[in-house]
Amino acid sequence: MHDKRFPNESESYRSARDELLRAEVELRAHVEKVAAQRRRLPVGGRLKEDYLFERMGPGGNVEQVRLSELFAPGKDSLVIYSFMYGPTARAACPSCTSLIDGFDATAPHMLQRVNMVVVAKSPVARITEFARDRGWSRIPLLSSHQNTYNADYWAEDEAENQMPMVNVFARRDGGIYHFWGSELLYAGLEGHPRHVDLLWPLWNIFDLTPEGRGADWYPKLSY
C-alpha cells in the first residue's frame, strides 16, 4: 500500500503488515462512519430536571450549581462522566481514576470546545480531598449527593451501585436535551463492555503491543 520499509523487515512481515494495514484503513472508515451517524442523532428526551449539584468553591466553601449553569456561552454540548465513588465506597474506582487522570490533563484543550464535568455521588468534601491527593485541578468535579441524576441517567443501578456512565446533553432552542449515552455498558456484550474505550488512551496504547491489554490487568490507585 506504500513503499516505506523498516530496517531488516522480512517479506512475511510486510505481507502480514499490509493485510493488517488494509484492516486498519477499513476500521478508520467505520469509526468515522459511526461518529458521523452519532452526530446525526436527533436530540433525545428533554432533561428530566435542572439538577442541583454541589462543588467546592475557590475559597473552600461549598457552592450549588444547576446543570443548566454548566453550559458556558457559545458551547452547547455538555459531557458528564459519572465517577464510581459513592458515599459508602471504601475507595474510589481505580479504572475511573485512570480515566479522570487523563481528563484532568487534557481539560484545557477539551474545554475550548465543549463543557465537561465529572460527577460522583460522594459528598463534595470527600471528592475534593481525593482530587487533591490525586493532583486533579483542571477538570470540574461535582457531587450528586443530594439529587437523583445518577439514578435517572443510568449511573447507578437499583441497589445504588455506581456505574461508569457517560452522558452528553445538548442545549437547543432554550431547552436542554439528552443527546447520547454510553449504552454499550448495558448492551449485554460478552466480557468487558468497553463502552468508554474511545475516551481512554491506556487501552488503545496497549492494543498496539504484542502483549495487548492482558487478560487480568487493570489500573490501580497506586503501583
Give the CATH number for residue 96: 3.40.30.10
Q: Which residues pair with 181 in a beta bridge?
A: 167
Share of the chain above pLDDT 70, in %: 100
Q: Tell me the C-alpha distance between 194 and 184, whole Å.
A: 7
Residue 191 has pLDDT above 90, yes or no: no
Residue 192 has pLDDT above 90, yes or no: no
Does 163 fall in a domain? Answer: yes
- Taking residues 23-30, report their average pLDDT: 98
Q: Residue 45: its pLDDT value, please?
A: 98
Up-side HSE of residue 52: CA atoms within 13 Å toward CB? 4
Q: What is the DSSP letter of 14?
A: H
Does 215 fall in a domain? Answer: no
Residue 138 has pLDDT above 90, yes or no: yes
pLDDT digits (tens, 9 = 90+) for 87-106: 999 999 999 999 999 999 99
Does 76 fall in a domain? Answer: yes
DSSP H or E run through 141: strand 141-143
Domain count, the chain: 1
Does 145 fall in a domain? Answer: yes
Does 57 fall in a domain? Answer: yes
Average pLDDT of every residue of the chain: 96
Q: Residue 189: its pLDDT value, please?
A: 87
Main-chain phi, psi angles of 192, to 5 degrees:
-65, 135
Q: Residue 1: its pLDDT value, please?
A: 86
The helices-and-strands tally (H runs, E runs) of the chain is 5, 7
Q: How confident is the model at residue 215 (pLDDT cuts 50, 70, 90)?
A: confident
Q: How confident is the model at residue 190 (pLDDT cuts 50, 70, 90)?
A: confident
Q: Residue 196: its pLDDT value, please?
A: 93
Does 161 fall in a domain? Answer: yes
| Residues 11, 5 contacting (CB under 8 angstroms) | no
Q: Residue 124: its pLDDT value, please?
A: 97
Does 95 fall in a domain? Answer: yes
Domain housing 172: 52-184
Residue 206 has pLDDT above 90, yes or no: yes
Query: Which residue bears the cell 454510553?
Result: 182
Please list, residue by residue across 61-79, b when 16 or more beta carbons sit within 10 angstroms of its beta carbon and e when fewer do: eeeebebeebbeeeeeebb
Q: Residue 59: its pLDDT value, please?
A: 87
Does 56 fall in a domain? Answer: yes
Read off the amino acid at residue 6: F
Q: How confident is the model at residue 74 (pLDDT cuts 50, 70, 90)?
A: very high
What pTM did the predictor assign? 0.95
pLDDT digits (tens, 9 = 90+) for 114-133: 999 999 999 999 999 999 99
- Taking residues 30-41, report their average pLDDT: 97
- Taking residues 199-218, report their average pLDDT: 93
